[in-house]
């Protein structure tokens, strides 16, 4: 799978982008990023973590922005990690994302992104919750 480039913006995000046949374009962290995640304290998203950015239906790109818009990509990576590993409930994950965007995204756009997540993020949350439960489930070997 060919890497497109390493990109480091004003936020200092060391990323490579590549196409994933299942998810489209993904950003891959090239080093750990630490976040102040409000009620969860500090979270470190590790090098190698893959994010699809701010998951938006293409229809909304003109209104809200591209999924890899640097105004909120750093925060979207944290949000993807929160959804994937679920150290908190979904509402808290969405609120952390909204608050993390406070310094880089205007209030109107922040509200649109937040409510888009509240209305449309549940299938992704549930898919990751099922995957986490399956990983925790004990395996039972049957005797012959």
Burial 5-24 (b: 16+ CB within 10 A, else e): eeeeeeeebebbeeeeeeee
Res 19: pLDDT: 86
Res 59: pLDDT: 73
Task: Determine how β-strand 15-20 pairs with β-strand 24-29.
Answer: antiparallel
Res 12: pLDDT: 67
- pTM here is 0.84
7-11 long-range contacts (CB < 8 A, ≥24 apart) are 9/70, 9/73, 10/70, 11/70, 11/73, 11/74
Low-confidence ranges of the chain (pLDDT < 50): 1-10
Neighbours of 88 (CB within 10 A): 16
């Amino acid at each position: 799978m060919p890497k497109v480039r390493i990109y480091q913006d004003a936020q200092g995000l060391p990323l490579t982008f590549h196409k994933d046949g299942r998810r489209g374009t993904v950003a891959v962290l090239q080093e750990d990023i630490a976040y102040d995640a409000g009620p969860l304290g500090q979270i470190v998203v590790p090098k190698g973590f893959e994010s699809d950015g701010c998951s938006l239906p293409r229809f909304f790109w003109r209104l809200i922005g591209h999924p890899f818009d640097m105004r909120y990509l750093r925060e979207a990576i944290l949000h993807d990690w929160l959804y994937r590993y679920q150290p908190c409930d979904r509402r808290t994950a969405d609120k952390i994302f909204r608050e993390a965007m406070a310094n880089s995204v205007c209030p109107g756009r922040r509200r649109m992104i937040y409510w888009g997540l509240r209305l449309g993020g549940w299938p992704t949350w549930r898919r990751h919750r099922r995957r986490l439960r399956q990983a925790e489930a004990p395996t039972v070997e049957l005797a012959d």
